[in-house]
Every structure is written in C-alpha cells, then in structure tokens.
Amino acid sequence: MNKLNLGLASAILASGLTASAAHAETLKFAFQGALNQLDPYSLNETFTLSALGNVYEGLTRRNENLEIEPSLAESWEVVEPNRWRFHLREGVKFHNGNDFTAEDVAFSVERLHGEGSDLAKRVGSDVKVEIVDDYTVDFVLPGPNPILHYEWDTWYIMDKEWTEANDAVAITSASDTTPNYAALHANGTGPFKLVSHEPGVKTVYEKYDGWWDEATHNLDGVEFTPIGSDATRVAALLSGELDMVYPIPVQDVKRVNDNAGTMAMTGPELRTIFLGMDQMRDELIYSDVKGKNPFKDIRVRKAFYQAIDIEGIKRKIMRDLSTPSAIMISPFLFAKSGDFERLPYDPDAAKALLTEAGYGDGFSVGMDCPNDRYVNDEAICQAVASMLARIGVTVDLNAQPKAKYFAKVLASGGFDTSFYLLGWTPGSFDSWNILDNLIQCRDEAGNGGAFNLGGYCSAEVDALADKILVENDPDKRDALIAEAYTLSNNDVAHIPLHQQGLAWGVAEGVELAQRADNQFHFRFVTKN
C-alpha cells in the first residue's frame, strides 16, 4: 500500500517536474554497505552514524573541515573545571513537530546508557546531567575533560515524547525478536526527514522545511541504495543512474575520471594503517624462534620498520592514494604532527640491525591480515612480506575476512597473533583515543589498551596519557601528546604505514564536501 502510493506520488512528481522544472533535485547515491537499522545508539559505525546524521543532530556538529560547530547547542562554556554548561537552541522542532528542549537532552543521555547501546561512551557513565532550565543543561564531570564534546556530533538527540509514545525507550538488542519502533523509523531535528526505509534495499529521505538552519543544499530528496559489488557500483555511476557512489576501488579511479560526466574525488582519510608486533609474550605463537620473543628486541622492530618501502606501497598498491605516516594519528588531528618523521627506508641498515640482534640468518613469523576491511589490505600485507623476505625474514601470511580476522586477534580471541595489520580512526578525533586504545599497557584479559594487540607497554607513556586526559590547556596538552608520541616512536611500539585515501565517484554537476572522516552529509550537496 505504502509503496504503491509512493510509486504513484513520485510518478506524479516526475510528470509535474517536466512541466514546472523547478529546483526539485533528488540525489541518488550508493554505498558499499547497507544501513541495517535506524536506532542511533545501536551501532558505533561510520556509515550508520553518517546516514543518520542527516536526520538526527547532536548538540554539536562538524563542518567540512571537521571543525566543531554549534548545532542543537548554540554555545557552551566550562563554568567550573568539572561543570560544562550548554545553551540550547530555541525554536528547534523535531520532524513530528515536537519542540526540542533540555528534557530531550537528559533523556538522550539516559537512553544512551541503556542496555544494548554501542555508543554509551559518548557521555561517560559517571557524568551527571542537570537541567538548569528549558534551554540550559549542565554536565557535571568527575574530573576535568577538555574533549568532553569531541564525539558529540554523532551522539544524536532523540525526542523524549516520541520515543516514549512509541515504546522505544529500550534499545533493540540483537536478541530481541522484534525491532522496536526507533529501529525502523526516525524522528530527528536534522535537515532531512526519513520517508521510507527498507533495510538492505533502499532508504528515501526528503528535505525538512522546518529545519532551524539555513539550507545551503538544493536537494528535495535523497535516495540511498546499498550496492555491494564494486563493479556494479562503478557501472551505475558511469551509466548516469546515480549521482554519487562511494567508495570506488583505487584501480577504477582513472576510469571514472576518463569517463565524460563523472569524476573521482580523492583525499586522505583519517584512518591510519599500521603494523603491530607481539611484544608481550615470552615466546611468539607463530614463529620458528623458540624460547624467546624477537620483537622484545627494539633492533628487530626497527629492522622491520626500515625494511618497508612505504613509497613503493604508495605507488604500486595504493596508486598514490595514500599518505605515508610517521605517527599513529592523522596529521589533520594533531597540530604538531609535522615534527615527526618516518624512519628512513634502508634494507641494509635493517639487515645490519637484525644481525646485531642475533638474527643474521633471519627467522620466520606468522602475520595476520584482514582481506576485506581496509583499502587493499591483503596486497599491503603481501608487499610487506616480500620486503621482509629481502632482509631474511620469512612471513607466513594469514589473510582472512574481517569476521574471522577480528575474532582471532582481538581480546575475544585471546590476542592470537604475533604480527598484524590494523587500521584505526580515533572516534573522538583526538590523540587521547589513540593512546587509550592502542598504546597504553594492557593485561592479558585486555584491560587497559584493549586494542593494543601487541601489548606494548611503557610506564612513561601511560603516565603522560593520564596527564593528557585532564589537561585543559590546549598548548600544554599538545606538548604532552607530542612527548607521548616521541616516546612510543622511539620504542617502535608500532610501525605506522599510511593514511589510506578516500575515493568517491561523483557525477558532473554535483558538488559536495568530502570529509576526511568518510562521512557523507547531504547538507553539503548541491546538484545542478
């Protein structure tokens, strides 16, 4: 019934269009993955949050350059070191016509902490929310936190009344037999309303006329289709059926550019791809070296680092769509990143280091690598393996789908790896996230740096991280972060490889902002 109406409506719309030819533009785009469900708190994943970010809004938002801007909060201030005050925007209405007030913010915090929430960390569980008046909210923290609001652009505010009326206060957990209302419907304050949503098939949005901000886009509606097959996705763009597709495989960039009417937009992504080494166990799980762990020796780690020809990987595998990195965070996200340099590529020095460490004849090591998670992940691992072969190290590559890879190498698999490739984007856009997740010491159960798979551990770095967490002064904080990176780089805690590139395919006449976090927001789009 619904769909018949929709079909008729769009048919009428289409016929009306030719007659009046107003600025009625529908953007049609495809992404490789699906938007499985709409509850904004169930999955902490870039595409889901990005798609929902057109419908819902947070207290803050980020612009094309990822700078924090006021959104549902007009302004905020730190009234005491532990108390942040947010002044909410007045006159904002949800898509169902309800007013946005402080009640909704408090409710959203509560729901965010509910069972089954995947975004609970957006607001610490020890943070208290106090409603000052209808349009002022205080967040009381257990200690200072300069980056409290860094992730709030993807913590979306829900309408208390709507959520309660539709019995959707509890987040649909994966074991529930029926999804709740919020998993299939959406009611936000954002620039677009959700018209229909068929998970895995099609999602349709329409412009929200009552949006509080002035629209810079000229779209009337947006149609999203997931297209899993790379070749089909690119073909659909080339044939003119779609206005935008992403990602496009690096090997198709040229073809998209050569085709009349389409072009590839490329740019660096925030994600850092790096290699990690088990420095924790006394003997590697996957190696022919028995009784000791070669990666405990910094000379071995350094040898591995210097054996990798990062420019070669950039040129041959990434087709120039990568930026070699010297630290574990994107240069966009850290002001002092220019101070760091990679160790030079030098196979002879690497070989000498290995000999010095007592491995002149080399050794063998098993390497774990995903093959469907990052851009050309398996090819990068193969290249690394062949580069290491040149200094006498035999790599047994175990490349597998992400579902198996992560089950093996993460805590749930007991950190079952000796040498691995991983990519990381700090969700908070800040270095503390890197230190917290990737560099801080952890125990065998994974407490501490839970994604520090190699178990690098430095008391000095940990002490710095604790200081960084509570330092409110940006300059002092940056200096502390730089110190932490210097220490971990000197230890060769990880081998940073590169920032992988983004490649989006866009039809002629469509202008949009390509954000380095790979989020696609319709409010930055114009279509002629």
Partner 1 sequence: MFGFAIRRLLQAMIVMLVVALLAFTLFRFVGDPVNQMVGIETSIEEREALRERLGLNDPIPVQFFRFVTNAAQFDFGTSYQFRQPVSDLFAKRIPATLELSFMSALFALVVGIPMGIYAGLNREAALSKLFLSVSLVGISLPTFFIGILLIFLFSVTLQWLPSFGRGEVVEVGSWWTTGFLTVSGLKALVLPSITLGLYQMTLIMRLIRAEMLEVIRTDYIKFARARGLPDRIVHFRHALKNTMVPVITITGLQLGSIIAFATITETVFQWPGMGLMFLQAVQNVDIPIMAAYLLLTAFLFVAINFIVDILYFVIDPRLRIGRA
Nearest distance from residue 240's CB to partner 1, in Å? 7
Helix, strand, coil % in the chain, rounded to nearest 5: 35, 25, 45
Nearest distance from residue 401's CB to partner 1, in Å? 6
Q: How many C-alpha atoms does 70 have within 13 Å on its Cβ side?
A: 12
DSSP 314: I
Nearest distance from residue 229's CB to partner 1, in Å? 6
| Footprint of partner 1 (CB under 8 A) | 1-4, 7, 10-11, 30, 34, 36-37, 42-45, 118-121, 172-179, 183, 198-202, 225-229, 231-233, 235-236, 238-241, 372, 401-407, 410-413, 424, 427, 433, 437, 445-447, 450-451
- Pick between residue 120 and residue 354 the one whose CB is nearest to partner 1: 120
Q: CA-CA distance, 292 to 450, in Å (whole number)?
A: 24
- Pick between residue 30 and residue 186 the one whose CB is nearest to partner 1: 30
Nearest distance from residue 231's CB to partner 1, in Å? 5
Under a CB-based contact definition with an 8 Å cutoff, are residues 526 and 215 in contact?
A: no
Nearest distance from residue 189's CB to partner 1, in Å? 24
Question: Edge-to-edge strand order for the sheet containing 73-80?
Answer: 73-80, 83-88, 136-140, 128-133
Beta strand 202-207 with 322-324 is: unpaired
- Pick between residue 90 and residue 176 the one whose CB is nearest to partner 1: 176
H-only helix segments in 357-413? 377-389, 402-409
Q: CA-CA distance, 414 to 407, in Å (whole number)?
A: 9
Nearest C-alpha neighbor of 200 from the set 398, 53, 412, 30 = 30
Beta strand 136-140 with 83-88 is: antiparallel
The SS3 call for residue 141 is coil
- Pick between residue 2 and residue 15 the one whose CB is nearest to partner 1: 2
Q: CA-CA distance, 168 to 457, in Å (whole number)?
A: 43
Nearest distance from residue 138's CB to partner 1, in Å? 27
Nearest distance from residue 132's CB to partner 1, in Å? 31
Q: How many C-alpha atoms does 506 have within 13 Å on its Cβ side?
A: 18
Q: How far is CA 468 from the centre of its chain?
A: 22
Nearest distance from residue 505's CB to partner 1, in Å? 13
- Pick between residue 287 and residue 425 the one whose CB is nearest to partner 1: 425
Q: CA-CA distance, 230 to 247, in Å (whole number)?
A: 8
Q: CA-CA distance, 389 to 284, in Å (whole number)?
A: 19
Nearest distance from residue 30's CB to partner 1, in Å? 8
- Pick between residue 189 and residue 225 the one whose CB is nearest to partner 1: 225
- Pick between residue 20 and residue 178 the one whose CB is nearest to partner 1: 178
- Pick between residue 81 and residue 240 the one whose CB is nearest to partner 1: 240
- Pick between residue 179 and residue 268 the one whose CB is nearest to partner 1: 179
